[in-house]
C-alpha cells in the first residue's frame, strides 16, 4: 500500500509545476486558477539504495521499492469549502491521504499572478487552513447530528458525540483539529482519526522559492529568505514539517540523469532533489521506517510506522502472516552486506529470532515464520 500525499495550495503557487517535476506526469501548469480540474495522481518509487544491493546479493528476480502516491488538486481560494472555484469537489479528493503537502509561494515574480495580489505566505497558509476547517465542520455537523440521535437509543454513540462536540467548538474558533489540545485518550483519538478530517492531517509545508533562496541557510545558519524564516517559525509552533523547493528549477532539470541532477543542485547548496527531500521529510513527518524482505524471487521495502511490532509488520505482507505469526528472523541490513551472505551472518550470531513483542527497526531484513 503506497503512502498517499495530497498537494494543496492557492492557485499559481507552483503546485502543478512541482507535481510535474516530482512525478514527471506532464500535467497542465498554466498561469491561471482552476487549471487542474480533475485531481492528478502520480505514483513514484521511494529511493532506497539498500534494495539494489540486496537484489544483487540474493540474485532476486524482482526488486520492489516502497511507493508514494501524490494527489494534486486544483488551487483553492477563499470560499473553497462552500464550492467557490469548485473547491468543495476538489477537497473531497484528498480526504483519504496520509498527509498534506501544502505548497506555499515564497517568491516574487511580476509575471506570475498572485490570486491575492500580494505575496504573503502566512496569510496564504491561513486561507487554506480556514477552508479545510470549514470543510471539516460540515462533516462534523453531519456526524454529530447522527450521533446525538443514535445516542438516545444506543449509549455507545455518546462518546462519539462528546468528541465531535469538543472539536466542533475548537474549530469554530479557527483552530485546526491537529492543533487543538486533546483532552481525550487513545480510543477517542482513534475515533477522531476515523472521521478523515482534513485539518487533522499532518502537514508538510513545501516552500516554493527562487533559485537563490534554495539553499537551506545563509552564512549565519538562518534561511536566506525572510518569507522562509516566517513560515519556519509558524511551522515549528504547530509541529509541522518544512522543506524548500524551487519548482521551476526542478522542472528544468527533470530531463537530466539522477547523477547530473544532484551535481546541478549541489551548485545551489542543496544535497538532494526535491523529490528525495520531500520523501525523506514526509517519512519523518509520518514517523515511517522501512523493513526489508529479500530472496531469489523478490527484494522489497515495506514502510511501517515507528514502533510497529513484528506481527504488525508481518501483516503488511499478508494478514495470514500476522494471524499465524510464530517468530521473525531478523538481521540488520548493515551486518548482512558487511558479511556478504545470510549464512555468514547466521554463523556470526547476527541473525536473531524475535517474538511478538519485538519492535521493528529501519533496515531490518526479515523472514517471518507463521502457521495458519
Q: What pLDDT, on a 0 to 100 scale, did the predictor assign at position 31?
A: 36
Please give the torsion angle defined by the CA atoms of residues 51, 56, 61 and 62, in that order, rounded to the nearest 10 degrees: 10
If we measure between CA atoms, which residue out of 116, 46, 92 comes closest to residue 282? 46
Residue 343 makes CB contacts below 8 A (sequence gap 6+) with none
Q: What is the pTM of this model?
A: 0.85
Going 18 to 23 to 24 to 30, the CA torsion angle's sign is: negative
HSE, CB side, 13 Å, CA atoms: give it for residue 169: 7
In the prediction, which pLDDT does 29 show? Answer: 40
Termini Cα distance of the chain: 23
Residue 89: the pLDDT is: 60
C-alpha cell belonging to residue 351: 541473525
Q: Identify the pLDDT of residue 24.
A: 72
pLDDT string in tens for the chain (372-residue length): 678 999 999 888 888 888 888 877 444 444 333 444 456 788 888 889 999 999 999 999 999 999 988 888 766 766 655 554 444 566 777 888 999 999 999 988 877 767 667 889 999 999 999 989 998 999 999 999 999 999 888 888 999 999 999 999 999 999 999 999 989 888 888 999 999 999 999 999 999 998 888 775 544 456 678 899 999 999 999 999 999 998 888 888 877 777 787 788 777 777 778 888 889 999 999 999 999 999 999 999 999 999 999 999 999 999 999 999 999 999 999 999 999 999 999 999 999 999 999 999 999 999 999 998
- Alpha helix stretches (DSSP H) within the chain: 15-23, 49-58, 87-92, 121-151, 157-172, 186-193, 226-238, 247-252, 258-266, 274-286, 310-317, 319-323, 333-339, 342-347
Kindly report the backbone phi and psi dihedral angles of residue 66, in degrees, each rounded to the nearest multiple of 5, phi listed first: -75, 160
288 has which bridge partners?
305
Amino acid at each position: 500500500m503506497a503512502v498517499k500525499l495530497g498537494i494543496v495550495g492557492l492557485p499559481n503557487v507552483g503546485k502543478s509545476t512541482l507535481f510535474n517535476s516530482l512525478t514527471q506526469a506532464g500535467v497542465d501548469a498554466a498561469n491561471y486558477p482552476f487549471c487542474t480540474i480533475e485531481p492528478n495522481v502520480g505514483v513514484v518509487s521511494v529511493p532506497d539504495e539498500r534494495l539494489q544491493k540486496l537484489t544483487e546479493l540474493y540474485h532476486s528476480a524482482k526488486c520492489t521499492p516502497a511507493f508514494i502516491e501524490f494527489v494534486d488538486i486544483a488551487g483553492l481560494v477563499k470560499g473553497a469549502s462552500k464550492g467557490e472555484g469548485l473547491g468543495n469537489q476538489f477537497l473531497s479528493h484528498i480526504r483519504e491521504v496520509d498527509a498534506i503537502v501544502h505548497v506555499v509561494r515564497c517568491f516574487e515574480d511580476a509575471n506570475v499572478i498572485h490570486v491575492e495580489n500580494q505575496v504573503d505566505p502566512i496569510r496564504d497558509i491561513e486561507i487554506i487552513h480556514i477552508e479545510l476547517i470549514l470543510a471539516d465542520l460540515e462533516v462534523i455537523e453531519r456526524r454529530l447530528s447522527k450521533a446525538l440521535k443514535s445516542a438516545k437509543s444506543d449509549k455507545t454513540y455518546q462518546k462519539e458525540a462528546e468528541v465531535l462536540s469538543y472539536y466542533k467548538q475548537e474549530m469554530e474558533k479557527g483552530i485546526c483539529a491537529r492543533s487543538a489540545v486533546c483532552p481525550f485518550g487513545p480510543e477517542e483519538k482513534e475515533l477522531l482519526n476515523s472521521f478523515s478530517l482534513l485539518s487533522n492531517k499532518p502537514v508538510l509545508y513545501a516552500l516554493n522559492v527562487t533559485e537563490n533562496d534554495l539553499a537551506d541557510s545563509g552564512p549565519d545558519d538562518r534561511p536566506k529568505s525572510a518569507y522562509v524564516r516566517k513560515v519556519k517559525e509558524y511551522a515549528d509552533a504547530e509541529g509541522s514539517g518544512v522543506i524548500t523547493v524551487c519548482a521551476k528549477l526542478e522542472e528544468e532539470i527533470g530531463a537530466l540523469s539522477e547523477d547530473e541532477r544532484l551535481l546541478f543542485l549541489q551548485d545551489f547548496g542543496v544535497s538532494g532533489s526535491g523529490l528525495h527531500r520531500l520523501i525523506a521529510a514526509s517519512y519523518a513527518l509520518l514517523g515511517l521506517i522501512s523493513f526489508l524482505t529479500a530472496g531469489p524471487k523478490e527484494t522489497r521495502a515495506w514502510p511501517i510506522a515507528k514502533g510497529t511490532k513484528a506481527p504488525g509488520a508481518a501483516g503488511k505482507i499478508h494478514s495470514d502472516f500476522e494471524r499465524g505469526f510464530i517468530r521473525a528472523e531478523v538481521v540488520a541490513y548493515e551486518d548482512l552486506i558487511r558479511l556478504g551472505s545470510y549464512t555468514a551472518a547466521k554463523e556470526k550470531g547476527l541473525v536473531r529470532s524475535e517474538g511478538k513483542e519485538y519492535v521493528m527497526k529501519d533496515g531490518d531484513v526479515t523472514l517471518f515464520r507463521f502457521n495458519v
